[in-house]
Amino acid sequence: MMESKWVWFIIIGVMLSVLEDSLTDACLKHERVALLHLKPFFNHFNYLYKWDEEKGWDCCRWEGVECNTTTTTTTTGRLIRLSLNSTRGYNMGDWYLNASLFHPFKGLNSLNLSYNSIAGFLENQGIEKLSRLDNLETLDLSYNSWRNNTLFHMGALSSLKTLNFRGNLVEGNLLHIQEAFSSVKTLSLQGQLSDPDNELVKVGNGNFLPYLSPKVQLKAISGTFPVWSLENNTKLQELVLKGNSFRGHLSFSSAPNFDLSLMDMSDNKLQGQIPSNNMFNFSTFEMLFLSKNAFEGNIPPCLNGMKDLSFLDLSNNHLSGRVPQELIMNSSFSILRLSNNNLCGNVVPAILKANKLRNLYLDGNNFSGEMPNVDVSTFRFPTSLQEIDLSNNKLYGKLPRWIGNISYLERLALSNNNFEGCIPMEFCNLNTLEFLQLSQNNLSGSIPSCFNPPNIEHVHLHGNRLSGPLSFALYNSSSLVTLDLGGNNLTGTIPKWIGTLSSLSVLFLRANHLQGRIPI
């Protein structure tokens, strides 16, 4: 009888053990054991104190551990994400890791080992050992101390889609890097590598749009524009070469990558005209960044016909001539930035016909002409506009009343022009306005007392000829951070309501005729 009881105890124990490894909301036993083997290497600040069977046998509830709560026939392991970032400490000294410690996690999809001073893997236990993890798609090794050829063995991880390797130091050939990541769609690198000409270069700063792929971001690379990057990468959707030292002319391949949706060549040393040849082949462009170079000449007309282009940035170059009206009126454009060039002409008529344009930056050019006043009762305004910057140009005339009818306008910058007359009463209708910059013009009259946008944060009106008392303009603007009214002809007593603006941090009232003290 006693023997039968012991048999039942044994059977129940076996059933509980099987049940433990079959629960969908609890970790597998062999994975829990593997985590406990990892713990001594990543617990220098006791961050993993909960990794203890006495404090909880379900490792899916442990810090940095995430398990799959659904049962599928294709998943061989329950643990899918493991985050061990900053668990060892950045000042604990360099050390070498055994990659075999991760073998038990067959279902692992994401592994984060960043900020742990890892200098490399143990001999014969390198990164290629992780190739056994068939589901590993995301690997974060950033901000460690890798100094060997780890980066060049990443090709063994055939399932890898996202690699973050910024903040490390490795050496090698740039072309070999390209070959090693034929399957990687999102790549973030920062360190020092040797390019094909054995010049020491820096690669990447990791600032990329996380929702677009594949991409390659390189930094401080010299030479001419790498046409091969478009010819040899048939699946490339983003090419980000921002902040390098590329020089010479920009040229597009005669057989380009037809899937390329984003190109960022900003902050280089490219010069000459923006090429129009073969540009029509890049009909898939959605974003094109060519700012902070030395491009000159006219804006090529071919840019007008890019039906998918939504963001164009040609700012901070030496472009000249007139802006094609079709460019501003292009129905696909959402953001157009042409700031700080030598462009000229009157662009206002085109602005009035912009259909879907949201942000327009034309500041720092030679645009001239009078801002026309149209019949606000009959004219249909570009209601999509949220930001307009026409500052530092040669525009003149009165501020148009129709600006007050742009329903969702958030930022308006018209400073350093030759506007005159009063601030229109229609500006009181700008209920979504957050930023107003009208400084350094010839505006006169009083500030409309009805001007109280509920979300206004910054108001710059200095260097005009505004007069009269402050009255009740802005008196209820609790969100106001900056108020610059200096260099005008304002009179009267400094109102007490200024002291009630709870968010106000910057206040300039100098060079006026105001009396009294600023209330605190």
CATH of the domain at 496: 3.80.10.10
Q: Cβ(450)–Cβ(471) under 8 Å?
A: no
Instruction: Give the three-state DSSP class for 101.
Output: helix
The two three-digit tokens of residue 183, written as one number: 């399957």
Tell me which residues of the chain have a pLDDT lower than 70.
1-25, 54-55, 70-77, 89-92, 126, 128, 147-155, 166-167, 169-223, 226-236, 253-258, 278-283, 374-381, 520
Give the tens place of pLDDT for each residue, 467-518.
999 888 898 888 999 999 999 999 999 988 898 898 999 999 999 999 988 7
Bridge-based pairing state of the strands 442-445 and 311-313:
unpaired
Q: Is 157 part of a structural domain of the chain?
A: no
Q: Is 119 part of a structural domain of the chain?
A: no
The two three-digit tokens of residue 59, written as one number: 């490792």
Question: Distance between CA 61 and CA 330 in Å, rounded?
Answer: 53
pLDDT number for residue 28: 87
Q: Nearest 5°: phi and psi at 466?
A: -65, 145
Q: Is 489 part of a structural domain of the chain?
A: yes
pLDDT number for residue 18: 45
Question: What is the value of pTM for the model shown?
Answer: 0.67
Contacts (Cβ under 8 Å, ≥6 apart) of 296: 271, 272, 273, 317, 318, 319, 320
pLDDT number for residue 214: 37
Q: How many CB atoms lie within 10 A of CB 502?
A: 9
pLDDT number for residue 329: 82
Q: Is 233 part of a structural domain of the chain?
A: no
The two three-digit tokens of residue 212, written as one number: 């677009």
Question: Distance between CA 150 and CA 144 in Å, rounded?
Answer: 12
* Residue whose structure tokens are 């308006």: 412
Q: Is 499 part of a structural domain of the chain?
A: yes
Q: Is 76 part of a structural domain of the chain?
A: no
Q: Is 426 part of a structural domain of the chain?
A: yes
pLDDT number for residue 172: 44
Q: Is 450 part of a structural domain of the chain?
A: yes
pLDDT number for residue 442: 97
Give CA angle at 89 (87, 94), nearest 5°. 115
Question: Distance between CA 42 and CA 432 in Å, rounded?
Answer: 50
Range of 513's domain? 396-520
Q: Cβ(430)–Cβ(404) under 8 Å?
A: yes
Exposed (0-12), middle (13-18) or buried (19+): which is 89, by Cβ within 10 Å? middle
Look at the chain and report how many structural domains it folds into.
1
Burial annotation 32-62 (CB, 10 A radius, 16+ → b, else e): bebbeebbebbeeeebbeebeeeeeeebbeb
Question: Distance between CA 99 and CA 13 in Å, rounded?
Answer: 34
Bond prior to 214 in cis (omega within 30° of 0)? yes
Question: Distance between CA 451 and CA 376 in Å, rounded?
Answer: 19
The two three-digit tokens of residue 348, written as one number: 């206002």
Bridge-based pairing state of the strands 79-83 and 65-67:
antiparallel
